Structure formats: structure tokens, C-alpha cells
Structure 1
Amino acid sequence: MIVRSTELQNNFGKYLRVAAKEDVIVTRNGVEIARLVSKEGHSEEELQESTVQESAASYHFRGRTATFEEFLELTSDGETRYEYMDGKIYLLSSPRVSHQYVITQLLPIFHQWAGDSGCIPFTAPYDIRPKRPYDDNPNVVQPDLMIICDLNDNLNDQDYYTGVPLLVVEILSESTQGRDLVKKLDLYMECGVKEYWIVDPLEKKLIIYHFKDQKIHQTAMCKPPESARSFLFEGLSVELNQLFMP
């Protein structure tokens, strides 16, 4: 179980009882700071080894396995951004200037294209919960930019979108490029996204994947001074000379 330090302090007795049955991971601002482990059933050597291993744990939740309920508990304060994919939690770091520059260039282009089409661009932080067709377990991701065309049909009573965007954009950074290029590519392809844009500010390039029948149907890779054109949406194009920082 994962619990925030403030919650532990307010309900210490409760979590001591929980720790008798399972490990309790304590976090502060998304960082793992301690673990409550029952001594019952563990030798002193095992407890010492567990302590050493935990002290060397990664600062970020890179691939930390957890239940969906634990993920919801961890993110209930809304102060830190996380994603949850295939049963693992990932902490999202603060984006850099080159990352935000791309968003500020893309968003007005998407808005101008959308017009009165019924499609609406959205930017992070904004959760979507795609599901793989063979797995009922939810995923929670925050694409950098997306185009949603079925908002009115998939808005619940809590004002949250429950559908799948048709187009998703992720902007690579050092901490997320592994997930964006592999895990999210696979997730978006299987969950019903039709087009996936990957923007690389460092290499100054844009890769577009067009999905059909949960497979990669077409791809394109563009660099300045070329223009990138959507396979899915007629008239949606971006001049790459305008997309990246000078």
C-alpha cells in the first residue's frame, strides 16, 4: 500500500495494523521516504536487506508497481502529476522551456484548424483513461496535447472526459522519451487513438503515426523546413520552421 506522510501521521494506528499484513510505502510530495514492514515472518537479516534496498530506491516512481486504488490514493491531493500504465506509476517532472515552446506553437494551430468542426484541442494536465481491448484495468495518462471530437458524448457527471482522443501529441524529454516512444505508442495504438504525433525538440523533428485496426498504417518523419500534415484530419498541417525554438 502507498500512503502520503500526512495521511500516515493522522492515522498512524490504522497503518500500523495494515503493516502487520502488508508493506506500507510512505511518500512525501511523490517521493518515497519510508516503508513500514512487519517484523513477523522476517529475520533480522531480511529486514536489514530490505532497508538497504529501500534506501537505494529511485527518486522517481519509474515503473513502481501498484494497484489502481493505490494510484488514486497517491494522486488524491492533486499536487503532483503522475501517470499509471499497465499497473505501474510514473512521476511526471516539470517540463523544460523547449517543451513548452512547442506546445505554445502547436495549440493555436490546432485551434485554428478545429474552428467549428466539433473537435476541441486540449493540453496537459488533463487525464484520459484508455483501456486496452483485452484488459479491463484502466490506464491514466496526460498527453501534452490532444484533439477530442466526442466530448459531449463522453462527459460524465463529474465533468471528466471518459472517451479516447482521436489525435494525441507527446513532446519528448529526457525523462519521458522511453515511455513516449515505446509504451505510449503501443498503448495509444491499442486503445483507439487514430493518430500519434511525437515531437523531438532536441533533434527538431516530428514523427506521425497513423493507426488503423490497432496497427501502424502509415508513418511520416518531418524536419525543418518541411511541413507536417495529418493523415487523419484534412487541412491540419504544421510548418516545422515555426515549431521549434530558434
Structure 2
Amino acid sequence: MITSLEQLDLTKAYTFKDYLSWKFQERVELLRGYVAKMSPAPTSTHQIISSNLHYNLGYFLQKKPCKVIAAPFDVYLPSIKGEGETVVQPDLCVICDTTKIKKQGCVGAPDLVIEILSLGNSRKEMTQKFQIYEQAGVKEYWVVYPYEQVIHQYKLEGDTFQALPIAEKTIKSQLLQGFEVDMDTIFDTIVE
């Protein structure tokens, strides 16, 4: 039984089954089969933004079939083009096909994924996640830049993410018709 991250060979590819068997405290993701260490506890700014988005999405989705779920929550994405299985923990995800929600997490692509960047996120990691979400069929993807107070928004067109214009005052979901939230509400009470 794996009880410590140090017991893993980080150059080896792993599977969903392996991931589920690990019994250690460190937070990790599985990106195309390879272990990726997650940042330590997020900052208060990160958590405030997450809470603001979670609250607004949750309120909007009341009595609708979609569910919004916040991290830590595993999303299991199958191997694409033989590149290895993926387990990610997006900051927020919206799942409209609730049959994908299982005890251990979401099996298959969520409809909307929101990642809030932390200082520990590398460009390589975010590029890799962008490609993973795109190939998995995530319909809408938001990348939140907390300190710039900007959200990059992408919509899946065919099998390719298309960048949408950057919202200045209000951000609107392309997927969740009628959902919009003021940028000031999202970035309210940012802690320096």
C-alpha cells in the first residue's frame, strides 16, 4: 500500500486504479498518467474568488439539472490517444449530466471547468490542463487570474477551444444560458 508520496516513482505512468489506492495526505493530480503535485493550501484571495463563483453558480443552478462542485473533487478523464489516464481537481466544475457524478468524483468531462491560478501553477501545467480539458470535451473553460482580476474564457467549438472576448464588467457563461455575474462580485474583498 502506498502511504507516502515518496514511495511513488514520479517518472512512471499510473492509472485511475493506482490513484484510488494511494493513502497519503499530499494532494496530487494525475495528468495523462503522470503524478503532478498540487500547490499547498490556496491563498485567502483564491478561496474568496472560489467562494464567490461557487455561491453565484449554485444560486443560479438551483432547481436546474446541473450541479456545481468545488475542489477538492476528483474528475476522472479517460486516456485520449493513448496518453494515459487523468485525474484532476479543478477549483470548480459544473456537471449537467449528473450520471457522471459518482462516490469518488466525476467520471467523464464536466461541462464547465473553472481553474483559479495560484502562484504554484506553472505555465507548463496550465498548458497541459488546457489541452486535456479541450481533448476531453469540456464545453466551457474559465481561467481566473486573481491578481490581474481577469478571467480568460474558452468555448469548445468542434474539438477546439476558442477564446472569447475578455469580460470587463460582467462575465456571461456561453453554456449556462442566463448565467452572468459582475466582475466586481467575483473579485470582491481581495486580500493583499
TM-score range, shorter chain: 0.7 to 0.9
Q: How far did residue 177 of structure 1 move?
A: 4.4
Superposed counterparts of 1:118-129, under 5 Å: 118-129=65-76
Question: Do 1:228 and 1:239's aligned partners in 2 also have CA atoms closer than 8 Å?
Answer: yes
Counterparts in 2 of 1:169 and 1:75: CA distance versus 1, 3 Å: farther
**What are the superposed Cα offsets for residues 155-214 of structure 1, whole Å, 9 maximum, x if unpaired?**
45x554312110000000111142563111111011010000111111111111001211
Higher-RCO chain (CA-CA 8 Å, sequence separation at least 6): 2
What is aligned with 2:49?
102
Name the structure 2 match of 1:139. 86
- How far 1:221 sits from its partner (Å)? 1.5
Show the counterpart of 1:114.
61
**Residues in 2 aligned to 1:214 and 1:99: alpha-carbon distance in whole angstroms:** 30
SS in 2 for 1:164: coil
SS in 2 for 1:68: coil
Matched ranges for 1:63-74 at <5 A = 64-69=10-15, 72=18
The aligned counterpart of 1:89 is 35
* TM-score for the superposition, normalised by structure 2: 0.85
**Aligned pairs (5 A) from 1:152-167:** 153-156=99-102, 158=103, 160-167=105-112
Quickly say closer, same or farther: Cα 1:180–1:229, change in 2 above 3 A: farther
Measured after TM superposition, the shift of residue 219 of structure 1 is: 1.5
The structure with the larger Rg is 1
Residue 173 of structure 2 is aligned to residue 230 of structure 1:
yes
Maintained 8 Å contact 1:168/1:195: yes
1:18 equivalent in structure 2: none
Letter of the structure 2 residue corresponding to residue 65 of structure 1 = T
SS of aligned partner of 1:222: coil
Q: Number of residues paired by the alignment?
A: 188
Structure 2 portions without partners, runs of 5+? none
Q: Compared with structure 1, are the counterparts of its residues 122 and 180 closer, same or farther at alpha carbon in structure 2 (3 Å cutoff)? A: farther
More helix by share: 1
Verify the 8 A CA contact 1:71 1:84 in the aligned structure 2: no
| Structure 1 counterpart SS, 2:174 | coil
Query: Residues of 2 paired with 1:164 and 1:147: CA distance?
Result: 10
Residues 131 and 212 of structure 1, relative CA distance in 2, 3 Å threshold: farther
Superposition TM-score, scaled by structure 1 size: 0.68
CA distance 1:119–1:96, shift in 2 (3 Å)? same
1:77-136 CA-to-partner distances (Å, cap 9, x unmatched) read 152210011232111121111110101101110011112110000001111111354237
Paired residues of 1:131 and 1:138 also in contact (CA < 8 A): yes
The separation in 1 between residues aligned to 2:146 and 2:135, in whole angstroms, is 26
Distance 1:71 1:131, change over 3 A: closer
Q: Which residue of 2 aligns with 1:241?
A: 184
Say whether the 8 Å CA contact 2:70–2:91 is kept in structure 1.
yes
Alignment identity in percent?
26
2:174, 2:59 → 1: CA distance?
A: 18
Note the alpha carbon deviations across 1:37-57, whole angstroms, 9 max, x for none. Answer: xxxxxxxxxxxxxxxxxxxxx
The structure-2 alpha-carbon separation of the partners of 1:3 and 1:133, relative to structure 1 and needing over 3 Å to count, comes to closer
